[in-house]
């Protein structure tokens, strides 16, 4: 029996490529001196400006704003990681998120089943809340945490365990849903069921060895939970 679901955000609730490709291009062109400099910075964060594709190891996929900033700082003379991370967080809050599926009906269906719902993202909490609010979703979440919320970043289990504490649920009766190995490792370390989805960059071959099930997207979650309950 599953009593709660904690979601990753980028690549899980929101389609990663359609949401963050435009953000990455806007960021590097905004802070770049010229086109060549923008290309160098895009390469540093694993984004190809010509194809609009992310490299599987891009820090944008699952790392924190601090990690992305650390990759950019060598190309930005005179700026610190903290200064660049601030620019990244400001831009992230303004990024236009594209839902992977119609989110409010799905999340409401989960709540109607009696499930508690959480969010654990390696984004900072303020942009995460802005993205949820922009899609009228905040009220459907019992718990929202970013890497700066005091529980650590994924792949550590801190945010997952904090959700369990906040809701009073047994971690073994919670499902962690995500699109990256960071998500699955965090969920497994917390003693949770791990559900992978393919709306990020990682492939089924990447995720399947670490997941209890791989779904095309979170739209399949209610059906899978119903089958499991039966």
pLDDT digits (tens, 9 = 90+) for 43-95: 999 999 988 888 888 988 877 888 999 999 999 988 999 999 988 888 888 88
Tell me which residue has tokens 């923008």. Answer: 38
The backbone torsions φ and ψ at residue 178, rounded to the nearest 5 degrees and listed phi first, read -160, 175
User: Which is it for the CA torsion 58, 64, 65, 67, positive or negative?
Assistant: negative
Q: How far apart are CA 194 and CA 118, in angstroms?
A: 14
Tell me which residue has tokens 């060598």. Answer: 74
Six-digit token pair at 228? 């499991």
pLDDT digits (tens, 9 = 90+) for 121-172: 998 999 899 999 999 999 999 999 999 999 999 999 999 999 999 999 999 9
Specify the domain boundaries for CATH 3.40.50.1000 within the chain. 4-15+97-229
- Length of the chain in residues, anyone? 230
Residue 70 · residue 45 · CB < 8 Å: no
Fold of 4-15+97-229: Rossmann fold (3.40.50)
């Amino acid at each position: 029996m599953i009593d709660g679901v904690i979601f990753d955000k980028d690549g899980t609730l929101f389609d990663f490529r359609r949401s963050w490709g435009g953000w990455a291009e806007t960021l590097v062109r905004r802070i770049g001196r010229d086109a060549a400099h923008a290309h160098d910075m895009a390469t540093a964060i694993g984004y190809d400006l010509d194809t609009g594709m992310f490299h599987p190891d891009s820090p944008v996929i699952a790392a924190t704003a601090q990690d992305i900033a650390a990759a950019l700082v060598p190309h930005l003379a005179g700026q610190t990681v903290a200064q660049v991370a601030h620019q990244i967080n400001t831009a992230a809050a303004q990024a236009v998120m594209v839902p992977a599926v119609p989110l409010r009906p799905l999340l409401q269906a989960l709540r109607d089943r009696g499930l508690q719902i959480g969010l654990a993202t390696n984004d900072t909490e303020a942009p995460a809340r802005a993205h949820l609010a922009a899609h009228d979703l905040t009220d459907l979440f019992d718990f929202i945490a970013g890497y700066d919320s005091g529980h650590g970043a994924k792949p550590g289990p801190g945010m997952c365990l904090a959700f369990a504490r906040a809701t009073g649920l047994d971690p073994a009766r919670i499902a962690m849903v995500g699109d990256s190995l960071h998500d699955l490792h965090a969920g497994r370390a917390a003693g949770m069921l791990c559900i992978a989805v393919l709306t990020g960059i990682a492939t089924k071959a990447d995720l399947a060895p670490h997941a209890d099930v791989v779904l095309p997207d979170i739209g399949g979650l209610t059906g899978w939970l119903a089958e499991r309950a039966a």
